């Protein structure tokens, strides 16, 4: 469903993504972990065509998106939902308007249907009845949940999670992690989670890739990664690199 072949990306002569190969099947939950600044968010943007690759191919459902024009990219992106780091809600819009936004802009649904969907998605993330709140009135965990409701508003096939639990306390993190797993199980969505928080990937992913020096190490499972003898992985697990 998703295949990256030798994808590279530099910024101002700094090589950040140095040749990433990755295959993700439908319904899989994979995590990409690595220290801050290693290029995880960049990789997600390349995947959705929000940023252009320097070289390499990004295949989504048998189409190489690096060859697409703006119109094709826009259509392709409707397959994706993205939970941004810091939730990235629109501050001037209510919770309901935030979730309704992609339904209006992308799906152009009739108003009654939009309201029904907003209600349904808020119920899903356990934020029922909060339609009229402003983002500033919500806690960090609640903002993430609204961000998730907005990400799933259009029922995407693939959900990208950028640091879904960063900045949340352990209980709120667990709550978001449970939602990620529930969403994957109930809707069979493919999930790609990027984070530097090791606890999150152990609870949410089937397959874990460590990003190092712009490439991905061979995949681990939540079990294997904890028993790994690779010194870099051991240091990461122990929290030494997870800054």
Ligand X SMILES: Nc1ncnc2c1ncn2[C@@H]1O[C@H](COP(=O)(O)OP(=O)(O)O)[C@@H](O)[C@H]1O
Given 34, 41, 66, 151, the residue binding Mg ion (CB under 5 A): 41
37 or 240: CB nearest ligand X: 37
The stretch among 29-37, 113-121, 137-145, 223-231 that binds ligand X (CB under 6 A) is: 29-37
By CB under 6 A, is residue 41 in contact with ligand X?
A: yes
DSSP 220: B
Distance, in Å, from the CA atom of 243 to the CA atom of 230, rounded to the nearest integer, reads 19
Residues 228 and 56: their CA atoms lie apart, in Å, by 30
- Closer to ligand X by CB, 93 or 242: give it: 242
Among 42, 94, 142, 173, binds ligand X (CB under 6 A): 42
Number of C-beta neighbours around residue 84 at 10 A: 18
Q: Coil, strand or helix: which one is 85?
A: coil
Which run of H or E residues covers position 35? none
173 touches Mg ion by CB under 5 A: no
Figure out which of the listed residues 40, 121, 130, 145 binds ligand X, where binding follows CB under 6 A: 40
CB of 16 or CB of 202, closer to ligand X? 16
How many residues of this chain interact with Mg ion, rule: CB under 5 A?
A: 1
Token pair of 235 as six digits: 């240091």
Task: Tell me: does residue 195 bind Mg ion (CB under 5 A).
Answer: no
Burial of residue 59 (CB within 10 Å: 0-12, 13-18, 19+) is middle
Binding of residue 173 to ligand X (CB under 6 A): no
Q: Is 81 in the site for ligand X (CB under 6 A)?
A: no
User: Taking a C-beta distance cutoff of 8 angstroms, is the pair 242, 196 a contact?
Assistant: yes
| Chain positions contacting ligand X, by CB under 6 A | 11, 16, 34, 36-42
């Amino acid at each position: 469903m998703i295949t990256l072949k030798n994808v590279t990306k530099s910024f101002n002569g700094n090589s950040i993504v140095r040749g990433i190969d990755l295959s993700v099947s439908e319904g899989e939950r994979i995590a990409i972990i690595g220290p801050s600044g290693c290029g995880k968010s960049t990789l997600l943007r390349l995947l959705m065509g929000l940023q252009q690759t320097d070289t390499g191919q990004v295949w989504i459902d048998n189409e190489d998106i690096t060859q697409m024009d703006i119109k094709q990219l826009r259509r392709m992106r409707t397959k994706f939902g993205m939970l941004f780091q810091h939730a990235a809600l629109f501050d001037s819009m209510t919770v309901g308007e935030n979730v309704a936004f992609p339904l209006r802009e992308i799906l152009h649904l009739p108003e009654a249907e939009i309201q029904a969907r907003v209600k349904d998605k808020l119920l899903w993330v356990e934020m029922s009845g909060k339609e009229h709140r402003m983002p500033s009135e919500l806690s960090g965990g609640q903002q993430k949940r609204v961000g998730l409701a907005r990400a799933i508003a259009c029922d995407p096939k693939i959900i990208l999670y950028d640091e879904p639990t960063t900045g949340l306390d352990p209980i709120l993190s667990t709550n978001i992690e449970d939602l990620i797993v529930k969403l994957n199980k109930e809707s069979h969505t493919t999930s790609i989670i990027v984070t530097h928080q090791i606890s999150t990937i152990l609870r949410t992913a089937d397959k874990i890739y460590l990003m190092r020096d712009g490439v991905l190490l061979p995949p681990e499972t939540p079990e294997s990664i904890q028993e790994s003898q690779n010194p870099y992985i051991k240091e990461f697990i122990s929290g030494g690199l997870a800054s």
